[in-house]
Amino acid sequence: FQYLRAVCSQVPDPSNWLSALESTKWLQHLSVMLKAAVLVSGAVDREGRPVLVHCSDGWDRTPQIVALAKILLDPYYRTMEGFQVLVESDWLDFGHKFGDRCGHQEKVEDQNEQCPVFLQWLDAVHQLLKQFPCLFEFNEAFLVKLVQHTYSCLYGTFLGNSPCEREMHNIYKRTCSVWSLLRAGNKNFHNLLYMPGSEQVLHPVCHVRALHVWTAVYLPASSPHPLGQDDMDIYPPPGSQSQEFSGRCLDRLPKTRSMDDLLSACDSSSPLTRTSSDPNLNNHCQEVRVGLEARHTTAEGAEPHLGEGSAGAAGEAR
């Protein structure tokens, strides 16, 4: 993870970005985790067998695989309410050491205790959301906000290493829960593509080539963001009527070549110098130009005739 942070923090982007990303092994670890979860869900769904999952301690890789398998098997855990239940039961109540793994403790005896286990699991959920965008009630912003507040300490949900510690320090009464922000009624985190009622068991593609870097978390500067000051410079301030400012703004706007062609083609005084983007439009504009030239020639030939007739009429009047 530290290698991934180092690669993503390089400015400007390195020319060997893909090879540097591959050297971090982050996507490979996600692929292995997803394959393990698929193995568990397949044994339960297709073979009807019970599965025992246990790592060395039972609070890191175990909740990663089990919680992912539950999401694959049960659509309830793909809802906002079910996802909260899943995090509370498989991560918080089963004793994942959020305090040590996220570096929340003031005095850390062993720096090696810090490890982004929960973040890695959320990244795997994000990969599932990308592959099945209509089967999750929550959207990517929901997961991003959960990542942020896992480390922000603004909420007491992820403080401490166990429910016992949180009870001992009275965390539940002294702090707010992160679920008060990520509640089901918050439309900002609702997936508009969600189709409720689907009982589908998920079978994700676990190959590394099917996985993506979570840019909203690791590369937030390259993710879609509101207009910055540089983008707003082309818009005049309220009440400003400066022609110089307007001219400068118009010069910065991109020009469409095909529109220039249409304007010049319909003007009989300026011949075509470029081919229009649409041949049909080009032919039509040439026909219009020929018609205008013929009308202009007819008008010039009629002027002397009208002049002579006018002079004769004047002589007869005398």
Contacts 24+ apart (CB under 8 A), 103-112: 103/151, 104/153, 104/158, 104/159, 104/160
Looking at 8, 55, 102, 164, which residue is catalytic? 55
Contact between 1 and 116 under an 8 Å Cβ cutoff? The reply is yes
Q: Is 59 annotated as a binding residue?
A: yes
Q: Is 58 annotated as a binding residue?
A: yes
Q: Is 56 annotated as a binding residue?
A: yes
Contact between 272 and 261 under an 8 Å Cβ cutoff? The reply is yes
- 50-to-36, 82, 197, 290 alpha-carbon distances in Å: 15, 22, 26, 83
Query: How many CB atoms lie under 10 A from the CB of residue 87?
Result: 25
Match 């400007």 to its residue by tokens. 12
Residue type, 316: E
Alpha-helical (H) ranges within the chain are 2-8, 17-24, 26-45, 61-73, 80-87, 98-101, 117-131, 140-152, 163-168, 171-174, 215-218, 229-232, 243-252, 257-265, 279-317
Q: Is 110 annotated as a binding residue?
A: no
Burial-class residue 63 by CB neighbours within 10 Å (0-12, 13-18, 19+): buried
- What does residue 133 show for φ and ψ, rounded to 5 degrees? -70, -15
- 9-to-5, 25, 112, 167 alpha-carbon distances in Å: 6, 17, 22, 38
Residue type, 130: K
Residue 285 falls in the annotated catalytic set: no
Q: Is 57 annotated as a binding residue?
A: yes
Closest CA relative to residue 67, chosen from 76, 57, 75, 77: 77
Q: Is 166 annotated as a binding residue?
A: no
Q: Which residues are known binding-site members?
A: 55-61
Catalytically active residues are 55
The binding site for substrate consists of 55-61
